[in-house]
Amino acid sequence: MTAMPKWADAVLVPLISLLIAFFISGLVILAIGEDPIAAMKLMVTGALGSTYGWGYTLYYATNFIFTGLAVSVAFQAGLFNIGGEGQATLGGLGVAMACLFIPWPHWSLALVAAVFASALFGAAWAAIPAYLQAKRGSHVVITTIMFNFIASALLVYLLVNVLRPEGALDSASARFGDAMRLPRLNDILALVGIPFNNRNPANISLLIALASCVGVWLLMWRTRLGYQLRAFGKSEKASVYAGINPVRMTMYAMLISGGLSGMMAINTVMGEAGRLLLNSVEGAGFIGIAVALMGRSHPVGVLLAALLFGFLYQGGAELALWTSIPRELIIVIQALVILFTGALDDMVRRPVAGLFLLMKKGKA
Amino acid sequence: MSLMKHFAAATASIALTAGAAVADPALIFDLGGKFDKSFNESAYEGAQRWAKETGGSYKELEMQSEAQREQFVRRMAETGANPIVVMSFSNIETLNTVAPDFPDTKFVLIDGVVDQPNVRSVMFAEHEGSYLVGMLAAMASKSDTVGFIGGMDIPLIRQFGCGYAQGVKAVTPDATVIANMTGNTGAAWNDPVKGGELAKSQISQGADVIFAAAGGTGMGVLQAAADADILSIGVDSNQNHLHPGKVLTSMLKRVDNAVYAAFKAGEAVETGHVNMDLAAEGVGYALDENNEALITEEMKAAVDAAAAKIASGELAVHDYYTDNTCPAVSF
């Protein structure tokens, strides 16, 4: 295994997995009588061929960066946080609380408040499973997924009974004030003179997501806490022997993870919809797991994997728009990519590692 | 003769240009998907009926995520489709944003109200139709206990349940209405197993007629009721045939008619508010050969009398949307 150079581990293996996934997707498209080459072209031009496509791709990618980072931080500490969905739901509630009830004079102030509120709510939602894991040994996988359902029920209750404006048909909160509209990506790029399509939801949250990537990298690889978290994740017993407090590590990892998941809501709730919707998370919490696995829990990997999934989402939308490929099949294509890059990663990794080992022996 | 030819040629050329100018209508389904056994599927059937009758073609799209709402409606409008039928109240905000950008395109919103000059807002009076099936349920019930099983707990489904409970209480004031919702996520629309379990639980509490307003989940309710040899009530389309003799009736919500009418009117479709209530035959109850043995003459007479009163405005069914409360049942 050690024979494999770093670039092969980080780039070559995911790339081969991806190609296999696309090849099998092509067979599936062929089987229902559509042209796979044309479909692929449509996905690429639709998602990356115009600033309009890029806007949507980046919008989806922003969500996946947050949830991918969230899963990877917990993963580094040896915890499998699959509650991103619920934590992001609560993050949305935090954003709504910050935006609905305080008349901020300017979006920048509202944004700061929303970042804090979303991170706080998301972290609080992760804190309970974290505490149960740390103190009682209740497995975090079970508790976080149960908390997803509780979050969903809580949101429905609040949106149907409390936050919904009287007489409205839609189970959604009232609109946030116009002052709280976040600048879209085209507004930001216009400042530096780059023309960008204005009919897409990509917004300033993308910059916060990128900053979070840097922040997570600094935290995990440049601070004492990051070192402790990673040591704890590698071996709990050894880290305890080294004087690291396991209860504290579990809490820290989950709080950071929940906070990052919650911050996803800035993009969807504040950046896109401008109000709290029933299903604004839409599975991004779960996609975050695939993104973290594929990105090997490193911020750079997470960023690239998030872009790939953003491409798949927007490309899938274009397929739905311009072909008669049913939407279930688009989900199949997305699922194949997750399957090959996440779950079946080892299937590709072993032969590639073996190949490098052979090459090394040949040289020696 | 030559004049005739001239006329013929003129009409032919008019027909041709008219053919080229008439745009295809379009139908955009909501997140539930085209084949949801309920709301969206009913719209699909209406569009299919129009396509078969006229031989015309139409465009269709299925939304997959919240972010696609605006994207899909906008892209569809850019293709020149007209009119564009958009499903569900979830798209009220979508049309408020998109419709002003396409003043020459007509939009039809089903189940929601949008005040734009080029939007036709179609609302159904679910509470009125549910009131009628509630009356039938109460008259068919021997235990004076009836059930209601909703899909996802949203105001629309409470509107169904509230009308139903009022109908039940109008016939038997001290009847018990057991109301359950299947869940709090979108999955609640398609969970027949849980629907069946809820039905069994209601049966064990004495319910002998159960109304399912729950999309695909309702299939499990109807099955469980048929297995336990009690009656059930279907929803949206006529579901009497699913278990002949076991489905008391179905509460009809004619989404298909609304889509069909919009497609048929084409670009000339009238905008403004359309209330598909009992008077407009937008809602009602189903009576066919599968349930004629279950609905006696008296029952039919009582319900038809109430329907006439509601249609004339003499009898008002409480509308859950007006104050978010229901006098007849608590959810």
How does DSSP assign A58-95, residue by residue?
A: HHHHHHHHHHHHHHHHHHHTT-----HHHHHHHHHHHH
Contacts of B65 in chain A (CB under 8 A): 282, 313, 317
Contacts of A156 in chain B (CB under 8 A): 152-154, 184-185
Q: Which of B154, B182, B323 to mutate to test the interface with A (most CBs of A within 10 A)?
A: B154
Q: Is the pLDDT of residue B1 over 70?
A: no
pTM of the shown model: 0.86
Query: Which residue among B62, B111, B184 places its CB closest to the CB of A152?
Result: B184
Distance CA A267, CA A200 (A): 12
Distance CA B62, CA B45 (A): 15
Instruction: Calculate Rg over the CA atoms of chain A.
Output: 21
pLDDT digits (tens, 9 = 90+) for B197-255: 999 999 999 999 999 999 889 999 999 999 999 999 999 888 999 999 999 999 999 99
CA–CA min distance A40, chain B (Å):
19
Please name the residues between 198 and 217 in chain A that touch chain B, using a CB distance below 8 Å.
Answer: 199-201
CA–CA min distance B158, chain A (Å):
10
Q: CA nearest A174 in B: which residue?
A: B93
Rounded to an integer, the average pLDDT of B250-263 is: 94
**The pLDDT value given to residue B3:** 46
CA–CA min distance A266, chain B (Å):
14
Query: Which residue among B64, B184, B323 places its CB closest to the CB of A320?
Result: B64
E strand or H helix at B172: none
**B314 backbone dihedrals φ, ψ, rounded to 5°:** -70, -35
Contacts of B112 in chain A (CB under 8 A): 169-170
Query: Where residue B285 falls among pLDDT bands split at 50, 70, 90?
Result: very high
Q: Does domain A61-306 have CATH number 1.10.3470?
A: yes
Are residues B75 and A59, on separate chains, in Cβ contact within 8 Å?
Answer: no
CA–CA min distance A348, chain B (Å):
31
Instruction: Calculate Rg over the CA atoms of chain B.
Output: 22
Which residue, B309, B255, B301, is CA-closest to B126? Answer: B255
**The pLDDT value given to residue B17:** 40
Query: Which residue among A199, A282, A327 places its CB closest to the CB of B66?
Result: A282
Q: Which of B39, B66, B96 to mutate to test the interface with A (most CBs of A within 10 A)?
A: B66
**The pLDDT value given to residue B4:** 46
Q: Is the pLDDT of residue B10 over 70?
A: no
Burial class, A166, CB count within 10 angstroms (exposed 0-12 / middle 13-18 / buried 19+): exposed
**The pLDDT value given to residue B21:** 52
Find tokens 């299939």 and name the residue: B219
Are residues A170 and B113, on separate chains, in Cβ contact within 8 Å?
Answer: no
Please indicate if any CB of chain B lies within 8 Å of the CB of A275: yes
Distance CA A216, CA A210 (A): 10
Take residue B115 and report the two structure tokens written for it: 């005040």
**The pLDDT value given to residue A176:** 93
Classify B290 as helix, strand or coil. coil
Contacts of B156 in chain A (CB under 8 A): 169
Homologous superfamily assigned to B126-252+283-323:
Response regulator (3.40.50.2300)
CATH 3.40.50.2300 intervals, chain B: 7-125+257-276, 126-252+283-323
Are residues A170 and B92, on separate chains, in Cβ contact within 8 Å?
Answer: yes
Q: CA nearest A59 in B: which residue?
A: B67
Are residues B153 and A282, on separate chains, in Cβ contact within 8 Å?
Answer: no
Question: Would you say the C-alpha torsion B315, B319, B322, B327 has a positive or negative sign?
Answer: positive
Are residues A169 and B113, on separate chains, in Cβ contact within 8 Å?
Answer: yes
Q: CA nearest B66 in A: which residue?
A: A280
Contacts of B68 in chain A (CB under 8 A): 317
Query: Which residue among B154, B185, B322 places its CB closest to the CB of A152?
Result: B185
Q: CA nearest A198 in B: which residue?
A: B71
**pLDDT 10s per residue in chain A (364 long)?**
456 787 887 788 888 888 999 999 999 889 988 899 999 999 999 999 999 999 999 999 999 999 999 999 999 999 999 999 999 999 999 999 999 999 999 999 999 999 999 999 999 999 999 999 999 999 999 999 999 999 998 998 899 889 988 777 788 899 998 889 999 999 999 999 999 998 899 999 999 999 999 999 999 999 999 999 999 999 999 999 999 999 999 999 999 999 999 999 999 999 999 999 988 898 899 999 989 988 889 999 999 999 999 999 999 999 888 888 887 887 888 888 888 877 777 888 888 888 888 888 887 6
Query: Which residue among A156, A201, A279 places its CB closest to the CB of B153?
Result: A156
Residues from B in contact with A at Cβ < 8 Å: 31, 33, 61-62, 64-68, 71-72, 74-75, 89-90, 92-93, 111-113, 152-156, 184-186, 321-324
Rounded to an integer, the average pLDDT of B311-319 is: 93
CA–CA min distance B10, chain A (Å):
36
Q: How many beta-carbon pairs below 8 A join chains A and B? A: 82
The full DSSP string for A115-154 is HHHHHHHHHHHHHHHHHIIIII---HHHHHHHHHHHHHHH
Q: Does domain B7-125+257-276 have CATH number 4.10.80.40?
A: no
Q: How many CB atoms lie within 10 A of CB A178?
A: 8
DSSP A339: I
Q: CA nearest A156 in B: which residue?
A: B184
Distance CA B180, CA A294 (A): 42
Contacts 24+ apart (CB under 8 A), B225-232: B225/B199, B228/B199, B228/B200, B228/B203, B230/B203, B231/B137, B231/B140, B231/B294, B232/B199
Query: Where residue B329 falls among pLDDT bands split at 50, 70, 90?
Result: confident
Burial class, A314, CB count within 10 angstroms (exposed 0-12 / middle 13-18 / buried 19+): buried
Contacts of A59 in chain B (CB under 8 A): 67
Please give the mean pLDDT across all residues of chain B.
Answer: 90
Q: CA nearest A175 in B: which residue?
A: B93
Are residues B153 and A160, on separate chains, in Cβ contact within 8 Å?
Answer: yes
